[in-house]
């Protein structure tokens, strides 16, 4: 039996350097569809996305985090993953699943991604990263900002994981 999902999971690696070429809008729409298909607690669907392809705005978003943001230097697209905290108390978990679906679909379509954490991070101005992203994108206060996913064609090669990278000591059966 062929294990397509397992192969995709091994192949997907964080990419921080992108080609100076925008993916077709159809590819981006398919990535967004994957995120919208992600499950959510009680099917409340508190997760929303803001898709940005304006380089000036992407660089403003980069300033919303003081480190771990270099993927935004060359990314032709940024997808901001947000969740309505009034709609669900587990928006963080729901948004994390949706962001993962986005990354997997991007890999399946031949694109690279990197998750840039915003929740519980600090900006270049020593402010809360989430608050800074809210200001840049005019996001209402009741929305939490989980992450920004940089998306584009890969301009770096990373070897896929293999069976030797799977650490079976992390698995416990029955009890710890």
Which CATH number goes with the domain that contains 52?
3.40.109.10
Residues of the chain with pLDDT under 70: 1-2
- 162 located within any domain: no
Contact of 35 with 101, CB cutoff 8 Å: yes
Tell whether 32 is covered by a domain.
yes
- 167 domain-assigned: no
CB-based burial label for 153 (10 Å; 0-12, 13-18, 19+): middle
Contact 11, 158 (CB under 8 A): no
- Look up tokens 């009890």; give the residue: 175
Residue 1 lies in a domain: no
- pLDDT at site 124: 86
Q: Number of structural domains, the chain?
A: 1
Sign for the pseudo-dihedral over CA of 124, 130, 135, 138:
positive
- Closest to 28 measured CA to CA, from 100, 93, 110: 110
Cα–Cα distance list, 10 to 5, 25, 68, 162 (Å) = 9, 26, 23, 6
The predicted structure's pLDDT at residue 83? 98
pLDDT at 1: 46
């Amino acid at each position: 039996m062929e294990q397509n999902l397992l192969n995709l999971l091994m192949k997907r690696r964080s990419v921080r350097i992108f080609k100076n070429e925008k993916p077709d809008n159809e590819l981006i729409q398919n990535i967004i569809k994957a995120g919208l298909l992600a499950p959510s607690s009680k099917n409340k669907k508190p997760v929303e996305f803001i898709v940005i392809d304006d380089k000036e705005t992407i660089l403003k978003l980069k300033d919303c985090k003081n480190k771990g943001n270099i993927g935004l230097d060359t990314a032709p697209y940024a997808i901001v993953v947000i969740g309505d905290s009034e709609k669900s108390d587990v928006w963080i978990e729901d948004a994390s699943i949706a962001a993962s679906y986005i990354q997997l679909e991007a890999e399946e379509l031949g694109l690279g991604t990197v998750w840039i954490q915003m929740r519980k991070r600090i900006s270049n101005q020593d402010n809360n990263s989430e608050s800074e992203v809210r200001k840049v994108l005019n996001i209402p206060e009741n929305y939490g900002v989980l992450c920004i996913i940089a998306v584009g064609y890969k301009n770096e090669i990373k070897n896929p994981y293999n069976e030797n990278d799977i650490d079976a000591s992390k698995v416990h059966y029955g009890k710890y």
